[in-house]
Every structure is written in C-alpha cells, then in structure tokens.
Amino acid sequence: MWLEAVKSGHDRPTKFVLWTMRRFSGVEVPAVLKVLFYRHRFFGSPLSDLIQDAMRGPSYWTVAEREIFATQTSQANECPFCATSHEAIAGAYVDAAVVTLALADGPESPIRPEARAMLAFLRKMARDPDGLTPEDAALVRLAGVSAEAFEEAVWVGTCFNVINRMMNTVGAGPLEEKQRGLSARFIKLAGYRMPPPVTLFSRGV
C-alpha cells in the first residue's frame, strides 16, 4: 500500500532527480528509490550507506556471492521486487546460468561450498528465524566459513530482511525486463549509496 507522500511527496530537488532518471532511462524509476529518497536523511541515506558497506565493502564474499545471498533472501521472503532486481545484478557479475544454478541449490550448484552452506543458513534465517540454533551456525563454520565471514553474510541477510518487508509493504511488484537490465547497470556503476544530487540538494527532512 503506497502512502501518497512517499509515492509523490518528494521535495523539488528530488523530484528533479526522479524526472531526470525517467527522462534518460525511458522507464519508470524503481519503487525502492522513491521510498529511499523520501525524507532520506531520516532513513534512506543511513540505510543506503549500510547496504553499500554490506554489499560492496571489503569482504570474504565476492560481489556476486553477496548478490546471490540478497536474491535468495528476497525469494525466501516472497519479495518479487528485490528478487528480480538482485538476480539481475548478480548476473552482471557472473553468468546468469551460474546465478540460476546457485539459487536452485542442487547438486550442480557452481558456487563454492562455503557459499552454499551460508545460503542454507540465510534461507532459514529469513523463513524461520526463531528456529535458528547454534547447530545451524556450527554447520556453516564446519564448511570453512570464519566468524568474520559469517557475520558479513548475516549483515547481507539482515539488510534484505528489512528491505524486503519495506518493499512488500508498498506492494512493489517484480521489475520489468528492461528495468532489470538498467538497474543492474546502474548499481554496478554507482553502487548503493544515495546519489550525490539528492544528498547535496535535497533537505530530505
């Protein structure tokens, strides 16, 4: 359910940024940007910085692995917007077939065993957080995942458990094919932090 203020109540500098993005991309701006841009200093900017650190900061996990973690968490939370967008972003770093096989988690999964073990933990973390036990974490550690790497992956899962609920709340549907490609290229180029024109010119309060 969209709140009208969040959908279209941005200040003038932010409206100009959104208009420019529509004008040059030829597609509607992804719903997540409308949410993050609204009064961004209270929510969007801090969350974007956290996501940037989790998804693009120094890590044991590759960028593709972290995007696969984000995609699977989004699938587990039945968030079509995030699932489609991050599957496309993962596919910008590795072959799309690798992403598909990794998410299927079958015997032909091409990702390393440590990532497969982490995927299993993150899946349960999304679907049954109250059911997580020390034994679940121990299985991941036995696969060769250090405590630091484990924490890094859990931060990815935590970020997307928040974002998935946010996007499901506003009823954001799956990205269309053209939007997926454009979003993947944009994120690969610019990352997850708030665009400078918004942070520089929008009061966001």
Using one digit for the tens of pLDDT, what is the confidence trace for 52-64? 999 999 999 999 9
The residues, any chain, with a CB within 8 Å of residue 168's CB and separated by 6 or more, are 77, 78, 79
Token look-up 């390393």 returns 112
Residue among 43, 40, 58 at smallest CA distance from 155: 58
Q: What token pair was written down for 19?
A: 């208009």
- pLDDT computed for residue 145 by the predictor: 98
* pLDDT at position 90: 98
| pLDDT attached to residue 205 | 63
Task: Give the per-residue pLDDT at 67.
Answer: 98
> What domains lie within the chain, and their CATH numbers?
36-200 (1.20.1290.10)
Positions in the chain short of pLDDT 50: none
What pLDDT sits at residue 99? 97
The closest alpha carbon to 155, from 147, 144, 167, belongs to: 147
Q: What is the pLDDT of residue 140?
A: 98
pLDDT reported for residue 148: 98
The answer to whether 27 and 178 are in contact (CB under 8 A) is: yes
Instruction: Please count the residues of the chain.
Output: 205
pTM of the model: 0.91
